[in-house]
Amino acid sequence: MKTRLFRTLLAAAMLVPAAGALADDYQVLHTEPIQNPMLWADCPDPDVIRVGDTFYMVSTTMHLMPGAPIMASRDLKNWETVSYLFDRLTDSPKYDLTDGTVYGRGQWATSLKWHKGKFYALLAPNEGGPMGQTYIFTADKAEGPWTIHSRMRHFHDCSLFFDDDDRVYVIYGTGEMMELKADLSDVIEGTHRKIFEREADERGLLEGSRVVKHNGMYYLLMISHTYAPGRHRREVCYRTDDINSGKWEKQVILESDFGGFGYEAQGTIVDSEDGDWYGIIFQDRGGVGRVLTVMPCRWIDGWPMLGDENGKVPATVRPLRSGEPVKSIVMADDFSAPTLGLHWQWNHNPVDNAWSLAERPGYLRLKTNRVVPNLYLAPNTITQRMTGPTCSGTVSIDFSHMKDGDRAGFCAFNGNSGVLTLKCTGKTVTLEMSEQVVALTDREKAVKEVTEQVIESVALDKKTRQIWLRIDGDFQPGHNDAANFFYSLDGETWTQIGTKNYRMQFDYRRFFMGTKFAIFNYATRKAGGYVDVDKFDCVSH
């Protein structure tokens, strides 16, 4: 009797399972919670849906290719990239880094839906004219292949929505809506409506439209920029019981800072198989970019209120399930696979005949293919996200086939970049740590100027063929988004080089994204050289 009573009390206290409890229940009680940020990496403008037991998410990657990553998770904690909507965009040579660039533009704020056994994604590049037309992609499974279904006029930060009667809508901009044809080929002319007017202190756009239907009500979630005293960036929700003729009511559903950074907004809500609801909202965090947080969504008086019982973003969230394998959207790579992993993205469209995994098995070969003046116009720069709170990326490069004028290396890549460059001059190779800053034109995003300041250089022995380069990033509050740079000639003994605590920066006027680990190789005099990347290692702390 005492033993049974003791077990019952322990079970009530959530220390051990009661008699007869499933093993999975025990694991749930002992699973580590989800720490916020859920993804401490650059994943802005999220849309999240659930199909069966799996959550799928899309995020913005702008000028990186392939673009519009689809990520999957079964527990909202471990995410992996499973596909991209497209390999490249081809509407302009700017996507190829010629006649301008698409830094900070390209794919934005994609809407992801699942309807009657099929996946749909709608996106509009942040461009004018034909480059800014809206794409609708479809796929039978989230892993792809994705195909372009149709193209139509531009819709800013839009949400695709399938109603229960199979009518289809797009809600976009600051509260505008149009109906689409049943086959999604185009809009139905004459259906444009302005569904609400923003408040007087909301002088900026209300953006990031996300539409869900719950218990017969329609909910539109948006980010609101306010400028009144005591008001901050916030997530607002509009609701109606009739999407075509009903009046839309408004409620602020989140107004919270978090973790020593600013106020959060823009994202969506999603339910679990068990009927629980969660909000996934991004937060600006400086040099690392815009990170994702997860929080409870509680339905109060018919409104999806976000945050804990005090309306604040919580530090942790209870896990949804146990036993899921650890996964990540940022990964190490020894380049032994026959295809490039989905964790990699190129800066702009790649030149496919200028890189190879087959010419030297176990290595990524990056070949120069045209003469360019600087890093920001270099084709085939390959990237991965840097992550918080701290991270370290290491790359091993065989540079023995560089040609005179070639530049290869590893950098913390953004509009302001900290760069480790192997500079080939004649038969001499020098390692330099420099700070490089790009200036872009407003219209074409053309590279106007690159300011380069070499901080430290080291002449390498002519017999040296391979070098290890390392970048450590620190994105903790108060640490000024610091990057430190190192090199090694044997992969074991490291020497710091150049700027200590180089400050990484986020600038919405240029790249509009977080800092990336980037590996590059380009020619400034004559094409034809190459480097072989042995492996890339990364650690997040």
pLDDT, tens only, 68-108: 999 999 999 999 999 999 999 999 999 999 999 999 999 99
Mark whether 81 and 189 lie in a shared domain: yes
- What does DSSP say about strands 80-86 and 67-73: parallel, antiparallel, or unpaired? antiparallel
Q: Residue 217's pLDDT is what?
A: 98
CATH number of the domain residue 63 falls in:
2.115.10.20
Q: Residue 393's pLDDT is what?
A: 98
> Domain range holding 427?
345-540
205 pLDDT higher than 90: no
> Does residue 335 belong to any structural domain of this protein?
no
Residue 372 confidence class, pLDDT cut points 50, 70, 90: very high
Q: Which amino acid, residue 300?
A: I
Mark whether 296 and 362 lie in a shared domain: no
27 pLDDT higher than 80: no
Q: Residue 484's pLDDT is what?
A: 98
Mark whether 356 and 312 lie in a shared domain: no
> Does residue 336 belong to any structural domain of this protein?
no
> Does residue 139 belong to any structural domain of this protein?
yes
Mark whether 244 and 312 lie in a shared domain: yes
Q: Residue 1's pLDDT is what?
A: 34
> Does residue 322 belong to any structural domain of this protein?
no
With pLDDT > 90 as the criterion, what percentage of the chain qualifies? 89
Mark whether 277 and 370 lie in a shared domain: no
Cis, peptide link before residue 145, omega less than 30° from 0: yes
Q: Return the beta strands (E) in 234-322 as ranges.
A: 234-240, 249-254, 257-258, 261-263, 267-271, 277-284, 290-300, 303-306, 316-317
Token pair in block for residue 478: 């108060």
Residue 31 confidence class, pLDDT cut points 50, 70, 90: low
Q: Residue 30's pLDDT is what?
A: 42
Q: Which amino acid, residue 96?
A: D
C-alpha dihedral (125, 218, 58, 259), degrees to nearest 10: 110
The answer to whether residues 75 and 325 touch, using CB atoms and an 8 Å cutoff, is no
Domain boundary pick from 317, 332, 358: 317
Mark whether 55 and 149 lie in a shared domain: yes
Mark whether 434 and 501 lie in a shared domain: yes
Query: What would the pLDDT profile of 466-476 be if each residue is shown by its tens digit?
Result: 999 999 999 99
Mark whether 148 and 280 lie in a shared domain: yes
With vertex at residue 258, the alpha carbon angle to CA 257 and CA 261, rounded to the nearest 5 degrees, is 80
> Does residue 480 belong to any structural domain of this protein?
yes
Q: How far apart are CA 308 and CA 304, in angstroms?
A: 12
Mark whether 395 and 250 lie in a shared domain: no
Mark whether 41 and 59 lie in a shared domain: yes
Q: How far apart are CA 99 and CA 105, in angstroms?
A: 15
Q: How far apart are CA 17 and CA 25, in angstroms?
A: 7
Mark whether 79 and 181 lie in a shared domain: yes
DSSP symbol at 225 = -
Mark whether 296 and 391 lie in a shared domain: no
Domain count, the chain: 3
Q: Residues 335-349: what's their mean pLDDT?
A: 98
CATH number of the domain residue 510 falls in:
2.60.120.200
> What average pLDDT is seen over the chain?
93
119 pLDDT higher than 60: yes
